Chain A
Amino acid sequence: MSAEIKAGPTEASDPGGVPQKRKAALRRFFDAATISVMPIYAFTLLFVVGPLVYMFILSFLKRAETWGVLREFTWSNYTNILKPVYLKTFYESLKLAFFTTFFVALVGYPFGYFMARLSATWKRRMMLLLMIPFWTSSLIRLYGWIIIFRANGTLDKILMGLGITQAPLKLLYTYSAVVVGMIYALVPFMIFAVYSSAEKLDWQLVEAARDLGATPWQAFITVSFRLTLPGLLSGVVLTFIPSMGLFFIADILGGNKVILVGNLIQEQLMKARNWPFAAALSVVLMILTSIMIALYRKVSGVKDLEGLV
Chain B
Amino acid sequence: MKKSKIPSLYLGLMLALMYVPILLVIIYSFNESRISSVWGGWSLRWYRDLFRDRDIMDAMTNSLILATVSSLSAAVIGTLAAVGMPRANLKGKGIIEYLSTLPIMIPEIILGMVFLVYFALIRLPFGMVTLAVAHTSFCIPYVYMLVKARLVGIDKSYAEAAKDLGATEWNVFWDITLPLILPAITSGVLLAFAMSLDDVVISVFVTGVNTNTLPLKIYTQLKTGVTPKINALCTLMFAATMLIVLMSAWFAKKSVRKTERRISSEEASGIRNSVGLAR
Chain A residues at the B interface, C-beta cutoff of 8 Å: 1, 4-9, 11-13, 27, 31-37, 39-41, 43-45, 47-52, 54-55, 58, 107, 110-111, 114-115, 117-118, 126-148, 150, 152-154, 184, 189, 192, 196, 199, 207, 210, 216, 241-242, 244-245, 247-248, 251-252, 262, 265-266, 269-270, 275, 278-279, 282, 285-286, 289, 307-309
Contact = CB atoms under 8 A, between A and B. Distances in A.
Interface stretch (B40-48, B49-57, B164-172, B181-189): B164-172
Nearest to B149: A309
B4 to A, nearest CB: 9
Given A50-B118, A265-B113, A110 B238 contact: no
Interface string B119-132: 00110000000000
Nearest to B195: A135
B110 A282 contact: yes
Contacts of B170: 32
B109 interface: yes
Contacts of A114: 7-8, 10-11
A282 B113 contact: yes
B62 interface: no
Contact of B85 (A37, A126, A210, A307): A37
A9 to B, nearest CB: 4
Contacts of A50: 118, 122
B65 interface: no
Interface string B94-127: 0010011011001111100111111001100000
B276 A9 contact: no
B96 A140 contact: no
B194 interface: yes
Contacts of B264: none
A289 B24 contact: no
A282 B107 CA distance: 10
A135 B241 contact: yes
Contact of A140 (B83, B194, B237): B237
A309 B215 CA distance: 27
Size class of B's contact patch?
35 or more
A88 B230 CA distance: 36
A118 B166 CA distance: 52
Given A33-B169, A36-B88, 9 more contacts: A5-B161, A31-B87, A33-B86, A111-B10, A132-B22, A132-B242, A139-B218, A285-B107, A309-B274
Interface centre among A32, A55, A127, A150, by most B CB within 10 Å? A32
B179 to A, nearest CB: 7
A50 B276 CA distance: 30
Given A44-B96, A282-B113, A148 B20 contact: yes
A8 B194 CA distance: 36
Closest 3 CB pairs of A and B: A144-B21, A8-B167, A36-B84
Contact of A127 (B96, B158, B205, B276): B276
Contacts of B25: 140, 143-144, 147
Contacts of B80: 36-37, 39-40
B247 to A, nearest CB: 12
11 contacts: A36-B80, A37-B90, A40-B81, A43-B136, A145-B21, A192-B277, A210-B1, A247-B201, A252-B223, A269-B117, A278-B113
Interface centre among B88, B108, B179, by most A CB within 10 Å? B88
B117 A54 contact: yes
